[in-house]
Chains A and B, each alone.
Chain A
């Protein structure tokens, strides 16, 4: 059983972070809130998403096992997994406006009922077994961490898109830089430590596909700051908060091999 009420804007903001990486995924519902981990079809980008239940105006959940009085007492089992087409859901939320959204899950019929004001929308759930397995998170250690204003980052990505296909993210001493090179032009953003919220000094960089970062930068548009975790020819991890700090998102992106 799952029933909840949430501000439409907050829900939309959360789903946008997911659709930046995948169209569909397995959402885990538990007493503590919602969770999702999914990887894009090419195995290049991953999202880990968590939303605390107290961001909801109302949140009621009871796992199936508990209802049927099953003997399985382990608490970790107290969660339900539903397959959702987030792109579709987001489309409807866009029409629903700014009102509060009521959510109700019918596990038996495999439907999610949503209600926005006088608009009721029934989402058919996807069979979780038809969806890709939840990915393993690679064990990574990042030598460098940079905290930057989201808008600064997004602005640079928007400019870089016009120039090339790839972007270098790196740290040179006490400067964090983003650099992209096209056939004709070159773009570089360099920020000194004092222009950033945080910086671990070092010397390293990695190259990433702009297609993916562009999608991610749309997903992070509601966050004030983002934390970039970097290494040398290493995946990039971007962490940020949504829903007024009640939601946590972490993107992971595999690098490109640089040409000699």
Chain B
């Protein structure tokens, strides 16, 4: 997983955590041993997962929890990143929570209309976990996996048959939107307007329940998350680009699991820039370099056409959270997001970390400044203290499309 882990092997806790997250996962594996001989499963399915390898022939199926602790709260919790954040779960707790998940899978084409696929769609649409009976083809294998975009998953198993043993409770309004002959983008917006969070919208999008009848297809979970962030952002952006600009410079801040965010809002029409500074030792910076590696992506008022390849899903997750905040303020702004990823964030847990932390930053009162210079100095000081002098505003400014650009109004 990581050089530090190889050296430490859970004994010395070199990462500075109280519990080794990998050992926490291993603990699950021991529990899992009891299950690993069974070829059947009965219990609630909390969500679905659609793979991407081999697209359009992918592995799809319901997600279940195999571990005993099955109070409804716990079940809901296993799929609710906003809850994880609110409860302040740490890396090890999340790994533990997610490693008790079992991903049942079966090969299907994304356009498949089999009963298995339509059962999956119902699980995705349901308000609460749905009881299912699964017959496995083989024994489950424990293979904890992590990704930058999706939440960690635990064991997986090939499934022969699925039987839904109860009537899934699908909210009427959700059902109405899904049964309308609408393009997937329109339906996704409608679901968000109903108050569904992007996590649920993404699950529904991945299930293939959305889209014009002829074009309905499943969307790999990984893609559905960023697609939903993008679609909902565009919906919000169309509105917020009509709002008046913020009246001054504001800085918002939040930190979670060694991801430190500072967000600068400037009084101008909407434009957006996102910086990620990966410290040596964090997930994607292999500690060869001595300095943090900074990547940058930008979009102007008109929006972007090209995928933000430098940053991927994190760019879109943060952009959504910024747009949500501006939309609530009924204001637009030029927004710059500074994200530092410190060395102790060395297991990727998914882009929800970005989304929830930025959302949290806007729940607090921002610091107000009269000039850009003062705002940048404030950010600079906070960067330097957190980063141990390794990183300053200047490192970002050189790369910035926004910060070093003069405006005609300056002359």
Query: Known interface pairs A41-B271, A259-B398. Does A252 touch B301 (Cβ–Cβ under 8 Å)?
Result: no
B3 within 8 A of A: no
- The residues of B with any CB-CB pair to A shorter than 8 Å are 268-271, 300-302, 334, 394, 397-398, 401, 404-411
Give the complex CA separation of A211 and B394 in angstroms.
22
Nearest CB of chain A from residue B372's CB, rounded to whole Å: 11
Min distance, Cβ A76 to any Cβ of chain B, angstroms: 25
In the complex, which of the residues A42, A45, A138, A235 contacts B268, with contact meaning CB atoms closer than 8 Å? A42
Complex contact A43–B407 (CB within 8 A): yes
B409 contacts A256, C-beta separation under 8 Å: no
- Given the complex, which residues of B lie within 8 Å of A257, measured CB to CB? 404-406
Residue in chain B with minimal CB distance to A255: B406
Chain B residue, CB-CB nearest to A39: B408
Q: Please, how many angstroms separate the alpha-carbon atoms of A255 and B404 in the complex?
A: 9
Indicate if the CB atoms of A256 and B406 lie closer than 8 Å.
yes
Given A209-B401, A259-B397, A259-B398, A254 contacting B302 (CB threshold 8 A): no
Which of B398, B408, B411 has the largest number of chain A CB atoms within 10 A? B408
List, in ascending order, chain B residues with CB within 8 A of A138's CB: 408-409, 411
**Of A43, A46, A138, A259, which is in contact with the most chain B CB atoms at under 10 Å from its CB?**
A43
Chain B residues with Cβ below 8 Å from A197 are none
**In the complex, chain B residues whose CB is within 8 Å of the CB of A258:** 404
How close is B323's CB to chain A, nearest CB, in angstroms?
16
A46 vs B406: C-alpha distance when bound (angstroms): 13
User: Which residues from A are CB-within-8-Å of B411?
Assistant: 138-140, 234-235, 254
Which B residues touch A45, using CB under 8 A? Answer: 408
- Residues in B neighbouring A140, C-beta threshold 8 A: 411
The answer, yes or no, to whether A135 is at the interface (CB within 8 Å) is: yes
Supposing A41-B302, A42-B268 touch, asked if A256 and B408 sit within 8 A by C-beta, the answer is no
- A41 contacts which of B269, B397, B401, B409 (Cβ < 8 Å)? B269
Inter-chain contact B407/A256, CB cutoff 8 Å? no
- With A23-B302, A41-B302, A42-B300 in contact, is A254–B407 under 8 Å at CB? yes
Q: Which residues of A contact B271 (CB under 8 A)?
A: 41-42
For the complex, what is the distance from the CA of A84 to the CA of B221, rounded to whole Å? 42
